[in-house]
Amino acid sequence: MTKELTQEEKATNHHTREHIAQVQDLVLEVVTNLLHRGQQHDASKLEHPEVEGFTQYTPRLAELTYGSPEYKETLAAMQDTTLKHHYEHNRHHPEHFKMGVMDMNLIDLIEMICDWKAATLRHKDGSITKSLEINRERFDIREPLASILENTVRDLGWD
């Protein structure tokens, strides 16, 4: 036997349902934004001036260990021609912003961590856990953000 709700409890439930609907709408707004980001991700790589550089260097990068001196040398070779343009046109990279990750929003960070995970899949020895460790230093990612990124990777089962 279920106890009948009072008028006050019914009114509370009505307001709670309105709140739930508002949160659902806002989550959908975030998801829509992320879907758009996913559809547009790295589109600048498909055209001049980036396609030439990525065509030349992507196979080499895939053979290198992320963060190694050789990897860094290859990135440096790409900087003026390819990466400068890429970072300017893709806000999921800390290099897009003057203050790096400190200027990014949550949507940028979600796309960034997805990008980092996907990049590990291109390397024979790729590891998102190792990438997080390297990028923590590379991009001066401090607490609590470093832990938030690590927790996200762990909770998604990516580690």
Q: What is the pLDDT of residue 74?
A: 96
From 51, 27, 34, 35, select the one nearest 109 (Cα to Cα): 34
Residue ranges in the chain whose pLDDT is less than 70: none
Q: What is the pTM of this model?
A: 0.93
Cα→Cα distances 60→72, 116, 122, 150, Å: 12, 17, 11, 28
What digits encode the pLDDT tens for the residues 74-116? Answer: 999 999 989 999 999 999 999 999 999 999 999 999 999 999 9
